[in-house]
Structure 1
Amino acid sequence: MSSASRKARMLQVASLRAAYEKELADGTAAFFAPRADLCPWCGSTRLSERLRTTDLLQHKPGVFVLDRCHDCGHVFQNPRLNERGLAFYYRDFYDGLGEERLGGLFGGRTATYHSRAKSVRPHLARAAEWLDVGTGHGHFCATAQAMLPAVTFDGLDHSEGAELAERAGRIRRGHRGAFPELAARMAGSYDVVSMFHYLEHSTDPRRELEAAHTVLRPGGLLVIDVPDPESRFARLLGRWWLPWLQPQHLHLAPAANLRRRLTETGFTVLAEEHTEAHDAVDLVAATWVALDALAPREDLPWLPTPPKAWRRAARTAVLLAGIPLLLAATTLDRTTARPLAGRLRLTNAYRLIATRGDDSLR
């Protein structure tokens, strides 16, 4: 980062600090809904704590708990963030302060985007209109367009990312808002709907699937990538497993659960993929998150004061010392974990491809 960029970031952080201080004056309790006694997926009362952690990416204050249902295996945040909490913890992550950093990260995931488009391509026999839900800045759509030239891509996102993607020419049209609330006005408009690492962020996955059913034409495709809570890496790495992504991930459904829910919603599952959906970053991400947690904090607006010079120096020293560990973890991810991921059930995500049935035949 250049000196000019560092100065601009310092000014941006300073301008945000007073608003964050005011919002945090009464603590974080106001950000949570009441604790649930029933599994939101199957209604069971047989719940137990699966994970207790903090915000390991933004380092905003708060403690977050994931419970697991002993009857269906569903993992969910409990107590769940309410609307105020969601707004607080999403702020400055995908846009605002975090926009440049996340934009660069998503822009560099070309291989992942190729894998997604490759999985769908055999199921597309003609020109199609595709809605990418949770599109972010539209980088997947721009990459997939080259592989699927007969497809027209639109995007939808809660944040201003969809509008940014439209202005950048990565998508034809960007829709901003909640998918279930916008679905009625787009009924029957699309041949493909994708939800790549989106459904786990939803407060109500059932409504999201119903919205997809609404906007798809009969025979249209729904493509979903979500973290796999049954991954062995989830157990081996504990709170350092990146796909837990607290406090953003509210629901993590085992593949069998999501397959059944898709069938109930009027879809037929055509394919279930684990190795193809795997992103071989578990070890390097866990190493980075642990180093970042160990190092003193960088200047963040939700901290009461900027870090002193010695703390900035200490942070730099810790991260530099961790470079050999990061390199080793990257090598293991690519040379060992990736080829063995499917066989050893280390895959960190799964992909379901389903087709919407014809309502007139139901």
Structure 2
Amino acid sequence: MSGEQHTPGTSAKRSRTATVAELRPRYQADLAQGTERFFDRRRTDCPWCGSTRLRERLRTPDLFQHKPGRFFLDECQQCGHVFQNPRLNGAGLEFYYRDFYDGLGEKDLDGVFTGPGREKMYRRRAESLKPFDRTPKNWLDVGTGHGHFCATARTVFPGTAFDGLDFSAGIELAERAGRIDRGFRGGFTELARQELLGRYDAVSMYHYLEHSTDPRGELRAAWQAIHPGGHLLIEVPDPQSRLARVLGRWWLPWLQPQHLNFLPVANLRQELTALGFTVVAEEHAEPHDTVDLLGAVWLSLNAVAPPEDAPWLTTPTDRIHRLLRAALLLAGVPALLLATTLDRLLVKPIAHRLGLSNAYRVIARRPETPPG
């Protein structure tokens, strides 16, 4: 070690700088081949109902990480399904997920999932099962990330064993931290046919289906993992929210390029019924998250401010740009505070009545006996 003295935060800053420099060659090699290779061919029909009556709903760059690329959402005029078109392929998903939840972005995202109000939200999600099952023995949280929901849900159901499943390395972090009893890393559709078959009283998918390339397959996997009498809990963004149309690309739940499919609640109910589930609850007011106006202001600020240094940028961000970014974000603090207040005091109380809810929750039960 050198005898150099560091002010608080300097080592963390230098660590990020070194990490960015280390990652830059790989990202630049990826981008040298162009971003077109990250997409499947554009569809001419709806992946949910097959209709060819499509219209463009949204076009946007990456407003979160500023990774290169442009993304499009189409809406089916027959069934209302909204989907990314053209959709990211496997290479694209790997590229755009890289350093978002893990790696370079792990610290920031961990702060989001443990921020103010998150624990209360996780508790309400868990409590939504109580009217239908007060003592589930085992629960699988699909797309669990770092396992923060399970950690809070234990306080609601202290006798329940909580397992988690995720594609990312976050599942291993969640298991090491003791937030889940057992972690499974991989695809739900494959694991549900094997070691997870019929194991669970409850399976939850909180803001998971919108990330899936095959939502129908995920629902079939849930049917397989839940034993008769068990319950499936789903929460997803609501593409029919009026705020989604008003705010356009600045509506946070669009989360491009990661969110691939947006299901209107009628489509989800119909599919669950076709699989044999009985829908026992549908909620719109309570799942609404107070982030719409705050998210719109933040995304706007992030769009106009110089980007934070990142390995997918061609050249490192210099000191002048970093200072300018900090100044613009600081100047935006009053707008962020006002948006937060309006989200909580104005939008939240009237969200469901005016069709502004940004999410909905469905709870479905697998019958004790096979249907019909």
Q: Structure 2-normalised TM-score? A: 0.96
Structure 1's unaligned 5+ residue stretches are: none
Q: Deviations over 1:237-267 (max 9, x none)?
A: 1100000000000000100011001111121
Runs of 4+ in 1 over 4 A off after TM superposition: none
Q: Deviations over 1:179-214 (max 9, x none)?
A: 001111211100000000000000000100000000
CA RMSD of aligned residues (A): 1.0
Match of 2:236 in 1: 226
1:82 to 84, 89, 106: 89
2:33 to 26, 31, 35: 26
Q: Structure 1-normalised TM-score? A: 0.98
Match of 2:43 in 1: 36
Match of 1:104 in 2: 111
User: What does residue range 191-230 of structure 1 map to in structure 2 within 5 Å?
Assistant: 191-230=201-240
Match of 2:4 in 1: none
**Inter-partner Cα distance in structure 2 for 1:337 and 1:223:** 25
Match of 1:70 in 2: 77
Match of 1:139 in 2: 148
User: What does residue range 245-256 of structure 1 map to in structure 2 within 5 Å?
Assistant: 245-256=255-266
SS of the residue 2:129 aligns to: helix
Decide which moves more: 192-201 or 124-133. Answer: 124-133
SS of the residue 1:132 aligns to: strand
Q: CA deviation at 1:2?
A: 1.3
Q: CA deviation at 1:153?
A: 0.4
SS of the residue 2:44 aligns to: coil
**Inter-partner Cα distance in structure 1 for 2:247 and 2:60:** 13
The one-letter amino acid of 1:84's match is A
SS of the residue 2:193 aligns to: helix
Q: CA deviation at 1:361?
A: 4.5
CA contact (8 A) 2:276 2:371 kept: no
**Inter-partner Cα distance in structure 2 for 1:131 and 1:26:** 39
**Inter-partner Cα distance in structure 1 for 2:252 and 2:21:** 29
Q: CA deviation at 1:358?
A: 4.0
SS of the residue 1:120 aligns to: coil
Q: Deviations over 1:35-82 (max 9, x none)?
A: 111100100000010000011111100000000000000000000000
Q: CA deviation at 1:357?
A: 2.5
CA contact (8 A) 2:55 2:76 kept: yes
User: What does residue range 1-362 of structure 1 map to in structure 2 within 5 Å?
Assistant: 2-108=9-115, 109-185=118-194, 186-358=196-368, 360-362=370-372
Decide which moves more: 338-347 or 226-235. Answer: 338-347
Decide which moves more: 101-110 or 257-266. Answer: 101-110
CA contact (8 A) 1:128 1:150 kept: yes
Q: 1:24/1:218 Cα in 2 relative to 1: closer, same or farther (>3 Å)?
A: same
**Inter-partner Cα distance in structure 1 for 2:290 and 2:311:** 32
Q: CA deviation at 1:359?
A: 5.4
SS of the residue 2:40 aligns to: coil
Structure 2's unaligned 5+ residue stretches are: 1-7
% identity of equivalent residues: 61
Q: CA deviation at 1:360?
A: 3.7
SS of the residue 2:83 aligns to: strand
Q: What is the aligned length?
A: 362
